[in-house]
Each structure stands twice: as structure tokens, then as C-alpha cells.
Amino acid sequence: MIVGTPTYAVPHWLVQLDPDVMVTTKNGRANYGARQNMDITNPTYRHYAEGVIRAMVSHTADYPNVIGFQIDNETKHYGTAGDKVLVLFKRWMKERYGTVENVNRSLLLYYWSNSVTRFEDLPDPCGTINGSYACEFEKFQRKLAEEFLMWQSDIVKEYKRPDQFITQNFDYEWRSFGAPGQQDGYSFGIQPDICHYESAKAMTLIGTDIYCFDQDKLTGKEIAFGGDLMRSLRQNNYLVLESQAQAFKDWLPYPGQLRLMAYSHLASGACGVMYWNWFSIHNGLESYWKGILSHDFEPNPTYEEIKSLGKELKELAPRLQGLKKENRIAMVISTESVNALKWFPTDKDLSYNDVVHWIYDAFYEMNLECDVLFAQEKDWSRYDMLIFPQLYCVHRELVERVREFVEKGGTVFATFRSFFADKRCKIFADRQPHNLTDCFGMSYNQYTRPVNVTVDDVEAEYWMELLKPDTAETIASYGHKYWGKYAALTRNCFGKGKAWYLGTMVPAEKLKEYLLLAARDAGITPCPVQWPVILRRGINEAGERLHYFFNYSDRDIKVVSHVGGTDLLTDIRYEEGQEITLKDWGVSILAEDNMDNKK
């Protein structure tokens, strides 16, 4: 059993006691009724929240079947921006900047007469049109959420046993696919309203919620991305605290899909998978977010598949648990860039997370696994190739580490709008990409929207930087009467490594070609298995190499095994080069032959 603190939904009596418990955002004070509509800094809320946390945890910590505690639920800052929060923000700004003049100069508050002479006079960020100032406030809001989780974690630590964990179900950008206000959506990219890297410090076990399409739209991309991000926070296993069972009316899974999804989570390094929720509730907002059981509490195909899966996993647990990955590719991401590019978008129809998934999904379909690292992560030593998708906001240390990584023999692949501004969204005043023109062997100082522009006979999309090679080799140029003299993709030898830069967006299949060329520079060879078959690999606690084969299609597919091994699900042994038949939405898990035993 995992005991969760109930702090994400406040009772009505508490709001009656202190109306300021309700969060005030840029849209005004929230009305009571929804969840996650409270001000996480409000003293009244904190007082009663602490009381219920202490009561629950002290009462349950000694029960042997309580294995851990979940603090809050999909925590974020909820847009909190009331008067008391603004006082805290101004105090935080004073601690960071020291003097008002530093604020005026660093954030260019002089523009349009926004400068101030006292910290107390800093304007309300909810009304600002200064992106740098707004992003500073959003950074502060994220820190409030991080502090809120650490506060809960510290309380739980007073009572929990050494063998009990503390977790939190981190979520992602919740991307809607239906009508406005409709209760639907799926996990997509980085969550902009809390920094997972910093918040993870409050956890002893990273947890997450991952929701994705199923039926004909099931690809596993959301599962893989979310898993690679959560695992990379600690380079360790994580727990899936919520995944869909029946969910929405158009998400009722086909036979075999729940099993496929569960093993996909495990293949990314999950140590367990749970479902929201056990049964379908009979009223309230989530009445039609269906659980394992339907409203009649009777067995159904979803229930039967999960029951069968549970039995299977119980038997296989000793062979599956503790999966560790040895990925040679890593993607570097940034919460600061997510928010900065809301203020300075590449295109109204293209977000930071769109570009992240554009790159990630290409690697996924080519079965080149990659970790997903936050820019704060300083250890890149285990990787041969780093990817920087639209990494807009960077600091000096990161730029220098990119240079050092390439000089020592690494390969980097960066996209448009990377290394463009500092952590305060202030655009660098030197040639772009900032302080890396020698590393990439090119520069640019103009960009535009591509109209009737091609790259290698495919359409350039959304944005194009007019790259001017110096020492770099032009791999692809723009096809256009006027822009044709500029490069679209460059490759430069720098030190012992290679630096690639793509100045525009191209269709996925062309992107795969470019990424594969760069991967070869890193000594990474193509995977013989291609989409819709997905191959994920790792090493279990016993030291066995496991190879997960997933068929993300509705047809049977034959795939040639690249290793010799025994399928844990069927006990069938396969020789290297032998065909494996994957049923529709099917799974095969090969435990690779121990070479010492073969000899």
C-alpha cells in the first residue's frame, strides 16, 4: 500500500475559514469546486495540511503493508500570483539581484518606462509584456512548488521507516485533443509549471503519471519519452503511479494493448505500473474516465487482461526488476526554454515540446534509445552523442561544457534557436550560436519563415536560419532563388569530435536521415529493427541483458533477432538471425545468451 497525502483538494470548510486559501492567478481568485485551486503558500492551508499529513503518516507508517508515501498529486504552482506571493517574489528578486539597478539593467525594465527605484515597486508580473521579467516570475513560481514538495517530504521523513519510500506522481504538459474544456488529453513533453529536476530532490523514488493514445493511435512514444525522462533524473528506476485502464470512450484498449503498454513501461526502467483507477466512479467530473472495472463492478476484458498480466509479472519479476540502461545518446532539455519560447515562439503552431518530440520520436522510431537530461545535469561522461532541441536559454557553464564535450571526441546535434539567450531570456549580443561559432564552424545573424523553400527536395517548415559556414561542411542547403546560398545543415570537425547544426525544421523521414549521419559520427550504428517494431534494451539485477521487442501495429510481423536468447514469455529459444513472430500488439522479451555459458 502507498499512502497519499490529500493536499491537492481542499475542503469547503477550510475556504469558509479563510477565503485566501483559494489561489489568486492573473485571472483573479479561483472559485471553489475544482481540485488544485489553492494557494500553496497560504498559512491557513499549510497549517491544516500539515495537521492531516502528520495524522495520516504517523498512523500508517508502522503498518508492514505500507511500502511508501506519495506526497500531493501532479504538483504544480497553479498560477499562484496573489498579493502575498508578490511580496515573496520581490523579496526573492532582492536576494538574487542585490540592487534594483541590476534588475532594471538585466531585464531591460527601462524599455517602455518599466524601470523602478525600489524593489517594493516592482510591477505585477501578471500585467507585464517583458518576457524576461515574466520568466523570472515563472521561475519563482516553480520554486514555490518545489519548496512545497520538500516541505511535505520533510514532514513524512519524521515518521517513515527506513525501508519506506517517498514519491510524487510527476506529470507532463497535458495536451488536449478534444473540444475546449473537455476532460481529455495526453502526456506530451516537459511540464512547464514545475521543474522536475529540482523537485526530484524531495523524492527517494521518482514517480510519474503517463497517459497516451491507444487503439489505432497507440505508438508508445509518450510512454518511452516519459520513462526516459523520469529514469534520467536519477539514472535509476522509477514508478508509474498512474496509467490508463479503459479511460475515455475512444481509448478503450484493443486486446493485448494493456499488456504491451505495461511491458513498454518496464522496458524504459519502470519498477512497477499502476492504473487510474480501480473502478469507474458513478458521478463527478471523472465519471467517464473509466477504470479497470466498469460501473457495474463486473469482470470485463480490461479487468481480465490486467489480471492475467499481474500473474505473468509476478512470475517474471525476478528476471525483469531493476532494469538499467546503457544509452549512448542523450537529449538535453530545459524548463527555462519551455517558458521562454511561450513568450518568444518559433511559430504560433510550434511549441518547444513539439520540437523536443520531433527529435525524440525520430530516434524512437529508429530504435536508437536516448536518455532525456535536464540542462542542470552536469555529468555527460557516459554519452557519445548529445542532442540540443531548440535549447533557447543557456548559461555560460553549459556552453563551455558543450565545447569541451566536442573537443574530447563527442558528437553534438543542435537545432535552430539553440544557445540563443541567457537564463533570463536576454539574447546574446555576439554571433549566433552564442560562443560556439568555432565549435559549429558557422554563424548566422538572420532568420525568416520558409516560404516555398526546400531542403534536399523536402519542404522547410516554420523557421529557417541563414547559416554561413566557416570551417563547417555544408551537408544541405536551402532550395530557393534568394536563400539558396545559405546552408540549412552543417557539420564541423572540432577537436576530436563533430558538431552538427540544423537551422530549420524538415519532415520526420528527412530528419531521421540527418540524425543517422550524425549518429555514425558518434560510432553508433543503425538498428536493424525498424518501426512499427520497437526494440528496448537493458540489464536486469541478475546481470542478464534483456531485449524487449514490441509490435505497435494491428498485424503480425516477423522480425530477425539480432541476438541469441530465450523468450521469457514463451520459453522459446531463438538463435541469432532467427525470425521471431510478433503478434498484433505483441511482445517478446529475449534474455540474451550468456556468452560464457555458450563457450
For residue range 37-89, list pLDDT tens digits in order: 999 999 999 999 999 999 999 999 999 999 999 999 999 999 999 999 999 99
Task: Provide the residue count of the chain.
Answer: 599
565 and 508 in a common domain: no
Burial code of 177-195, b = ≥16 C-beta within 10 A, e = fewer? eeeeeeebebbbbbbbbbb
Give the three cell numbers for residue 441: 564552424
Q: Which residue has the higher pLDDT, 241 or 599?
A: 241
Decide the pairing of beta strands 545-551 and 587-592.
Answer: antiparallel
| CB-count burial class (<10 Å; 0-12, 13-18, 19+) for 156 | buried
Give the three cell numbers for residue 122: 516592482
Which CATH number do you get for residue 422?
Answer: 3.40.50.880
Mean pLDDT of 500-504: 98
* Orientation angle between helical segments 352-365 and 508-521, nearest 10 degrees: 70
**Rounded Cα–Cα distance for residues 417 and 429 (Å):** 14
Yes or no: say if 371 and 204 are a contact pair by the CB < 8 Å rule: no
Closest C-alpha to 190, from 219, 154, 232, 158: 232
**Rounded Cα–Cα distance for residues 323 and 333 (Å):** 24
Closest C-alpha to 106, from 126, 129, 136: 136
Residue-wise pLDDT for 478-491, tens only, equals: 999 999 999 999 99
**Rounded Cα–Cα distance for residues 245 and 255 (Å):** 12
483 and 359 in a common domain: yes
Yes or no: say if 170 and 230 are a contact pair by the CB < 8 Å rule: yes
423 and 365 in a common domain: yes
Strand (E) or helix (H) holding 590: strand 587-592
537 and 443 in a common domain: no
466 and 418 in a common domain: yes
> Greatest CA separation found in the chain?
78
First to last CA, the chain: 45
pLDDT at 196 over 50: yes
**Rounded Cα–Cα distance for residues 332 and 351 (Å):** 16
Strand runs labelled E in 351-481? 370-374, 385-388, 411-415, 442-443, 447-448, 454-455, 458-459, 461-465, 468-469, 473-479
Listed residues 468, 499, 521: the one ending a domain: 521
Domain holding 565, by residue range, is 533-598
Closest C-alpha to 585, from 553, 557, 543: 553
**Rounded Cα–Cα distance for residues 104 and 123 (Å):** 12
Cβ-Cβ contacts under 8 Å for 346 (sequence gap 6 or more): 355, 390, 416, 417, 462, 463
550 and 489 in a common domain: no
pLDDT at 127 over 60: yes
How many other C-beta atoms lie within 10 A of the C-beta of residue 532? Answer: 15
CA 412 to chain centre: 20
- 252 domain residue, yes or no: no
Yes or no: say if 347 and 463 are a contact pair by the CB < 8 Å rule: yes
Give the three cell numbers for residue 48: 491544516
Beta bridge partners of 175: 186
549 and 434 in a common domain: no
pLDDT at 3: 98
DSSP string, 81-124: --HHHHHHHHHHHHHHHSSHHHHHHHTTTTGGG---SSGGGPPP
Yes or no: say if 487 and 292 are a contact pair by the CB < 8 Å rule: no
Give the three cell numbers for residue 174: 497535458
- 280 domain residue, yes or no: no
Yes or no: say if 420 and 434 are a contact pair by the CB < 8 Å rule: yes
Mean pLDDT of 532-544: 97
539 and 581 in a common domain: yes
509 and 546 in a common domain: no
pLDDT band at 8 (very low <50, low <70, confident <90, very high): very high
421 and 360 in a common domain: yes
Domain count, the chain: 2
DSSP string, 400-412: HHHHHHHHTT-EE
**Rounded Cα–Cα distance for residues 104 and 259 (Å):** 56
- 403 domain residue, yes or no: yes
- 324 domain residue, yes or no: no
CA distances for 43 relative to 47, 147, 235, angstroms: 6, 14, 36
Yes or no: say if 70 and 171 are a contact pair by the CB < 8 Å rule: no
Listed residues 521, 551, 577: the one ending a domain: 521
483 and 421 in a common domain: yes
At 158, phi and psi to the nearest 5? -65, -20
Cβ-Cβ contacts under 8 Å for 294 (sequence gap 6 or more): 246, 279, 280, 300
Residue-wise pLDDT for 347-396, tens only, equals: 999 999 999 999 999 999 999 999 999 999 999 999 999 999 999 999 99
Listed residues 497, 521, 545: the one ending a domain: 521
Mean pLDDT of 15-24: 97
- 494 domain residue, yes or no: yes
Closest C-alpha to 7, from 74, 66, 60: 74
Residue-wise pLDDT for 446-490, tens only, equals: 999 999 999 999 999 999 999 999 999 999 999 999 999 999 999
- 234 domain residue, yes or no: no
The helix/strand/coil state of 323 is coil
- 437 domain residue, yes or no: yes
pLDDT at 37: 95
pLDDT at 181 over 60: no
Mean pLDDT of 126-148: 97
The CA angle 3-9-14, to the nearest 5 degrees, is 115
What is the CB-side half-sphere exposure of residue 373 using CA atoms within 13 A?
A: 23
pLDDT at 248: 86
Which CATH number do you get for residue 548?
Answer: 2.60.40.1180
pTM higher than 0.85 for the full model? yes
pLDDT at 250: 85
Which residue's C-alpha cell is 483559494?
22
**Rounded Cα–Cα distance for residues 242 and 261 (Å):** 12
Yes or no: say if 348 and 564 are a contact pair by the CB < 8 Å rule: no
561 and 509 in a common domain: no
Mean pLDDT of 323-329: 97
Instruction: Report the percentage of the chain scoring pLDDT > 90.
Output: 95
Yes or no: say if 61 and 159 are a contact pair by the CB < 8 Å rule: yes
At 254, phi and psi to the nearest 5? -70, 160
Residue-wise pLDDT for 220-276, tens only, equals: 999 999 999 999 999 999 999 999 999 988 889 999 999 999 999 999 999 999 999
* Orientation angle between helical segments 352-365 and 335-343, nearest 10 degrees: 130
**Rounded Cα–Cα distance for residues 295 and 86 (Å):** 46
pLDDT at 165: 98
Residue-wise pLDDT for 199-226, tens only, equals: 999 999 999 999 999 999 999 999 999 9
pLDDT at 599 over 60: no
Strand runs labelled E in 423-496? 442-443, 447-448, 454-455, 458-459, 461-465, 468-469, 473-479, 487-494
pLDDT at 598 over 80: no
- 133 domain residue, yes or no: no
| CB-count burial class (<10 Å; 0-12, 13-18, 19+) for 121 | exposed
**Rounded Cα–Cα distance for residues 78 and 141 (Å):** 9
Yes or no: say if 237 and 322 are a contact pair by the CB < 8 Å rule: yes
